[in-house]
Amino acid sequence: MAQDAISEALYERAQALIPGGVNSPVRSCRSVGASPFFVKRAAGCRLEDEDGHIYIDYVGSWGPMILGHAHPEVVEAVRFAATQGMSYGIPCRLEVALAEKVVSMVPSMDMVRMVNSGTEATMSAIRLARGYTGRPKIVKFDGCYHGHSDCLLVKGGSGLATLGIPGSPGVPPEVVAHTVSVPYNDVEAVEAVMKAHGDAVAAVIVEPVAGNMGTVLPKPDFLPALRRLCDTYGSVLIFDEVITGFRLAPGGAQERFGVRPDLTCLGKIIGGGLPVGAYGGRRDIMEKVAPVGDVYQAGTLSGNPLAMAAGLATLKVLSTPGIYASLEEKGAALEAGLREASRIAGVPVTVNRIGSMGTAFFTDSEVKDFAAALQADTAAYAQFFRHMRSCGVYLAPSQFESFFVSTAHTQEDLDRTAEAALESFRVVKEKCAKKMKV
Ligand code: KE4
């Protein structure tokens, strides 16, 4: 039987019933010229597909699985919660416990509202900022992706960048008329927009470390400039920490970079693998949210007890002393392995990495914004992805995403990854050299 026969058969069935056979576009692996495998089980940093292939996983469900898959404390928390009922639609103690844990970890959060996804979190934060300020305009950054709510689907990163869709059909022009997108790290561009429109800007929303054009770090003056400009014009500064929250530090990027937003959006890790998003921040803003205030937002499954239990167990483990130092060491080891392998193979890559997230861009230029990321050789990345997968290493199926290291990755896993990378870079060199842009 073909080595991927079961996944191929499942993919065939899935494509007849689900658009592209996937419940989220980037999983289709189309941008890297591959078909997805179907996971049978996952544990620690390993995935097993339906055909029995094992992979070292650097996607981690796109960020949530910072403790690795099926962490025993998380599994037990969810198992027990399930025996107490799946959903109530009535407040329960787990919602209070997770809210207290989140507020204790994220410096700028006085209050928090749970939702079910990062998209809901940013969509709600934008509505809240507009309700709080009475202003219409939103400033975002090219290459940053904040989920798929209409007013934010402009020049997105993540799936949009990968699929090359600048915005999306189905979003009426008037819905994005108030959304301005400027280059990431470009302080002058933001200053110009705020000078021209600042009094009408409800919010500036940013990924404090971008993860959706691949990993791009903020220049030292970037985040402080956004804080200064929002203070000057009375706009709400929103940090979209759906990726960076609880990943870069207990308090996320805002703790690491020492810049306090007015609102923070969370997702991924906060749910420990179950569907949780959240938005929160200054009490004077959050008290505008219904039912206390009149900015409306709601959700049947918001605060779901199983999801709260998974998130709480995850954050409790992440509060173990030394865990972020260990994640930093593992991230640095992975970066060093990728750099050394590309050097030996003679394939220039730019590796952007912070803590346990990063991206290897197939370019020898600095990648400080979306325009630079788009210069990367996506064909070379696709070749690298496919060969790494054949070596049993699963990377993000897109040049414009990030890799994630978990607490479950061991030195042996990292060494094996470096060996696979050397072999894969050599294949890229051989197969793509003539076409490579560098
Ligand atoms: P979700 O609605 O997918 O939970 O979160 C949207 C979102 C918001 N903000 C940031 C910074 C995000 O990265 C995301 C979602 N990230 C993508 C991949 N980077 C999720 C993967 C997918 O779309 O399948």
**What are the pLDDT digits (tens) for 60-92?**
999 999 999 999 999 999 999 999 999 999 999
The continuous run of DSSP H or E covering 247 comes out as none
Verify whether ligand 1 is closer than 6 Å to residue 118 (CB atom). Answer: yes
Average pLDDT over residues 125-141: 97
Ligand 1: atom nearest CA of 275 is: 4
146 CA distance to ligand 1 middle (Å)? 7
Is residue 301 scored above 80 in pLDDT? yes
The continuous run of DSSP H or E covering 102 comes out as helix 93-105
Average pLDDT over residues 296-314: 98
- Binning pLDDT at 50, 70 and 90, where does residue 368 land? very high
Q: Where are the alpha helices (DSSP H) in 234-294?
A: 252-257, 283-286
171 CA distance to ligand 1 middle (Å)? 19
Which residue has its alpha carbon closest to ligand 1 atom 24? 24
Cα separation of 266 and 273, whole Å?
A: 13
Catalytic residue status for 11: no
Verify whether ligand 1 is closer than 6 Å to residue 377 (CB atom). Answer: no
Cα separation of 153 and 62, whole Å?
A: 19
Tracing tokens 């009149």 back to the chain, one arrives at 294
Looking at the chain, how many residues does it have? 438
**DSSP-derived secondary structure letter, 29:** -
- Which residues have C-beta within 8 Å of that of residue 334, sequence separation ≥ 6? 58, 353, 358, 403, 405, 409, 414, 417, 418
Count of alpha carbons within 13 angstroms of residue 407, beta-carbon side: 23
Residue 107's CB is within 10 A of a number of other CB atoms, namely: 17
Q: What is the pLDDT of residue 167?
A: 77
Q: What is the 3-state secondary structure (H, E, C) of 32-70?
A: HCCCCCCEEEEEECEEEECCCCEEEECCHHHCCCCCCEC
Fold that domain 72-318 belongs to in CATH: Aspartate Aminotransferase; domain 2 (3.40.640)
Q: What is the pLDDT of residue 71?
A: 98
Average pLDDT over residues 356-384: 97
Cα separation of 282 and 152, whole Å?
A: 22
Is residue 163 scored above 60 in pLDDT? no
Q: Are the C-beta atoms of 406 and 323 separated by less than 8 Å?
A: no
**What are the pLDDT digits (tens) for 223-253?**
999 999 999 999 999 999 999 999 999 999 9
Report which of 239, 234, 236 is spatially closest to residue 222, judged by C-alpha positions.
Answer: 239
Range in 48-57, 144-153, 335-344, 411-420 the model is least confident about: 144-153
Report in angstroms the alpha-carbon separations of 277 from 122, 231, 401: 9, 27, 20
The continuous run of DSSP H or E covering 240 comes out as strand 236-240
Average pLDDT over residues 42-66: 98
- Which residues have C-beta within 8 Å of that of residue 9, sequence separation ≥ 6? none
Q: What is the pLDDT of residue 119?
A: 98
**What are the pLDDT digits (tens) for 208-221?**
999 999 999 999 99
For the chain, give every domain's residue range: 5-69+321-436, 72-318
Verify whether ligand 1 is closer than 6 Å to residue 119 (CB atom). Answer: yes
Q: What is the pLDDT of residue 37?
A: 98
Q: What is the pLDDT of residue 162?
A: 42
**Greatest Cα-to-Cα distance within the chain, rounded to the nearest angstrom:** 66
Average pLDDT over residues 372-396: 98
Q: What is the pLDDT of residue 156?
A: 55
DSSP β-bridge partners for residue 56: 46, 393
Please name the CATH architecture into which domain 5-69+321-436 falls.
Alpha-Beta Complex (3.90)
Task: State the chain's mean pLDDT as an integer.
Answer: 95
pTM over 0.85: yes
- Which residues have C-beta within 8 Å of that of residue 192, sequence separation ≥ 6? none
Q: What is the pLDDT of residue 164?
A: 35
Q: Is 412 exposed, middle or buried (0-12, 13-18, 19+ CB in 10 A)?
A: exposed
Is residue 330 scored above 90 in pLDDT? yes
Q: Are the C-beta atoms of 259 and 227 separated by less than 8 Å?
A: yes
Catalytic: which of 142, 186, 240, 262? 240
- Binning pLDDT at 50, 70 and 90, where does residue 172 land? confident
Cα separation of 174 and 153, whole Å?
A: 13
- Which residues have C-beta within 8 Å of that of residue 249, sequence separation ≥ 6? 255, 256, 324, 355
Q: What is the pLDDT of residue 177?
A: 87
Tracing tokens 């339906």 back to the chain, one arrives at 50
Q: What is the pLDDT of residue 433?
A: 63
427 CA distance to ligand 1 middle (Å)? 31
Q: What is the pLDDT of residue 173?
A: 83
Average pLDDT over residues 249-265: 98
- Binning pLDDT at 50, 70 and 90, where does residue 168 land? confident
Q: What is the pLDDT of residue 438?
A: 42
Q: Is 258 exposed, middle or buried (0-12, 13-18, 19+ CB in 10 A)?
A: exposed
| Percentage of the chain lying above the pLDDT 70 cut | 96
Is residue 366 scored above 90 in pLDDT? yes
Q: Are the C-beta atoms of 271 and 94 separated by less than 8 Å?
A: no
Catalytic residue status for 279: no
